[in-house]
Amino acid sequence: MIIDCHGHYTTAPKALQVYRDAQIAALKDPSRPRAKGVVAISDDEIRESLENAQLKLQRERGTDVTIFSPRASAMAHHVGDSMTSLDWSQHCNDLIARVCALYPRHFVGVCQLPQSPGVPPESCIPELERCVNDLGFIGCNLNPDPSGGHWTSPPLTDRCWYPLYEKMVELDVPAMVHVSSSCNPNFHATGAHYINADTTVFMQFVLGDLFKDFPTLRFIIPHGGGAVPYHWGRYRGLAQDLKRPPLDELIRDHVFFDTCVYHQPGIDLLLKVVPVANILFGSEMLGAVRGIDPETGRHFDDTRRYIEAATSMSDADKQQIFECNARKVYPRIAKALASIERAVA
């Protein structure tokens, strides 16, 4: 089985964006009473949005299940206030739940959190509980910069995040560290802000004692860990100079990188320097890069091919990356996969 740990619903039916546009437009008139409103999307529209996109690519590429969450760039926690964020997150999460109900063999849900700049992260706990307990989700996406490129929140190692981590530990769900769009003109979203956030948070983890306080807390750092594997020597050296634990030890049961690195030499490096137990297969399709690489004739984001072509790693290790590690990091996936397996049997 191949589990893709990183997929967003980037192809959601237009009605979702229509809702969002209206929600944002309504912010301009603060005197107007606010209502959560409805997102009118039929099951057929959901099917249509996936059949020629994620499902087609799953079939073509031979991947089985995608850990699926709302479109990351659209989370835009910096827009409006915490009520804006809550209404929007609930609609997005409900839509993911419908996707998973329609295609239980192909998608397992991860939620968007209703974060808002300056609002304590514990405000997200009820929505996390709803998604995990009521909708059957297995994790969440956590935005380390709800300001959208101004980086006004404390680091993820700050105690203000602890109530949320306590709930994650209690529910036994991990978080993928994932920023959203950037309203800072310096940062292109997928070409700079995403990658910077990955790098930034890794270094926060190196400096902090978060995993002493939460021995079972787990984070996935997407996009192959940002700049980290390329600079693995730098980070090993910094950890050593700063009297921090060796990286392998520090990340062991806590920090995992996905394989969203869109060329063979990058994947080769990742597989070479990062312990196999800390790598989860991911593609982020359809995501940041949708074209075909003229050098290979294949989609840039068809990351399964790079892993299979990597010569430095045994098949058993590859299976760890394709399946076993995801089961370990997202233990709640077992229940979802068991129903698939029953259906197949």
Q: According to CB under 8 A, which residues from 204 to 243 bind a second copy?
A: 204, 206-207, 223-224, 226-227, 229-238, 240-241
Instruction: Tell the smallest beta-carbon distance from residue 115 to a second copy (Å).
Output: 15
Instruction: Tell the smallest beta-carbon distance from residue 212 to a second copy (Å).
Output: 19
- Is 184 among the residues that bind a second copy (CB under 8 A)? yes
Our separate counts of H helices and E strands in the chain read: 15, 11
- Is 107 among the residues that bind a second copy (CB under 8 A)? no
- Is 262 among the residues that bind a second copy (CB under 8 A)? yes
- Is 250 among the residues that bind a second copy (CB under 8 A)? no
Element (H, E) at 206: helix 194-207
From 45, 51, 284, 295, the catalytic residue: 284
Amino acid at 200: T
- Is 317 among the residues that bind a second copy (CB under 8 A)? no
Instruction: Tell the smallest beta-carbon distance from residue 208 to a second copy (Å).
Output: 11
Report whether 12 contacts 71 (CB < 8 A): yes
| Residue 284: active-site member | yes
- Is 146 among the residues that bind a second copy (CB under 8 A)? no
- Is 291 among the residues that bind a second copy (CB under 8 A)? yes
- From 80, 109, 148, 149, residue interacting with a second copy (rule: CB under 8 A): 149
DSSP at 313: S
List beta partners, residue 176. Answer: 141, 220
- Is 120 among the residues that bind a second copy (CB under 8 A)? no
Number of CB atoms found within 10 A of residue 113's CB:
25
Note every long-range contact of 151-154, with CB atoms under 8 Å and residues 24 or more positions apart, other chains counting.
151/200, 152/117, 152/118, 153/117, 153/118
Q: How far apart are CA 268 and CA 312, in angstroms?
A: 8
- Is 196 among the residues that bind a second copy (CB under 8 A)? yes
322 CB-near residues (< 8 Å, 6+ apart): 1, 2, 3, 281, 304, 307
- Report the 3 state secondary structure along 226-252: CCCCCCHHHHHHHHHHCCCCCHHHHHC
DSSP at 34: P
- Is 305 among the residues that bind a second copy (CB under 8 A)? no
166 CB-near residues (< 8 Å, 6+ apart): 214
- Is 266 among the residues that bind a second copy (CB under 8 A)? yes
- Window contacting a second copy (CB under 8 A); options: 62-70, 172-180, 294-302, 323-331: 294-302
- Is 258 among the residues that bind a second copy (CB under 8 A)? no
Whichever of 120 and 266 has its CB closer to a second copy, that residue is: 266
Q: Which residues bind a second copy (CB under 8 A)?
A: 144-145, 149-151, 153-155, 184-188, 190-192, 195-196, 199-200, 203-204, 206-207, 223-224, 226-227, 229-238, 240-241, 261-266, 268-269, 272-273, 288-291, 293-294, 300-301
Residues labelled as active-site residues: 284
